[in-house]
Amino acid sequence: MRNWIVGCAVGAVLVVGSAAQDKAKPGDAAKGKDVFDQCSVCHNADTEETKVGPGLKGLFKHAKLANGKPVNEANVREKINDGGNGMPAYGDQLSDQDKNDVIAYLKTL
Ligand code: HEC
């Protein structure tokens, strides 16, 4: 007896194209500096010296993050969103705009 799975599985054409246009604008480093106030309890901005987390001076001049991933906007954003190893997850706590701004600020360090 043969069981034919005539799987007309999921012909699902996902219509993802909903135009939920990201309202967040490109990062503004000056605003990001304010956002960074809540980060500065754990991070120095003007040295690489560790406070609770690593000092973030020159972050974007480094080749890699502590997690081994290359330093770029996507990976820094992922770290901010997901946290880990003592870093709180800010995924739900900061708006996309705040994240854009704080990343723009980190780039100036
Ligand atoms: C409670 C302390 C704490 C706060 C607040 C905090 N961080 Fe962190 N952060 C850490 C720790 C600890 C690490 C190291 C995690 C690791 O090694 O993976 C870290 C790592 C990072 C890294 C990766 C650095 C690297 O070289 O790998 C970035 C970027 C970062 N934090 C940005 C931020 C930003 C932006 C904020 C504010 C929105 C913030 N952090 C708030 C503790 C904190």
Closest CA to ligand 1's atom 9: 87
- Higher per-residue pLDDT: 44 or 5: 44
Best residue among 38, 43, 85 to mutate for probing ligand 1's pocket (most ligand atoms within 8 Å of CB) is 43
Closest ligand 1 atom to residue 102 Cα is 35
Radius of gyration of the chain, Cα coordinates, nearest whole angstrom = 20
Return mean pLDDT, the chain.
Answer: 87
Distance 43 CA to ligand 1 centre (A): 7
Burial of 76 (0-12, 13-18, 19+ CB in 10 A): buried
Closest ligand 1 atom to residue 38 Cα is 37
Cβ atoms of residues 102 and 32 within 8 Å = yes
Collect all residues with Cβ–Cβ distance below 8 Å to 34 and sequence separation of at least 6: 101
On the question of pLDDT at 1 being above 70, the answer is: no
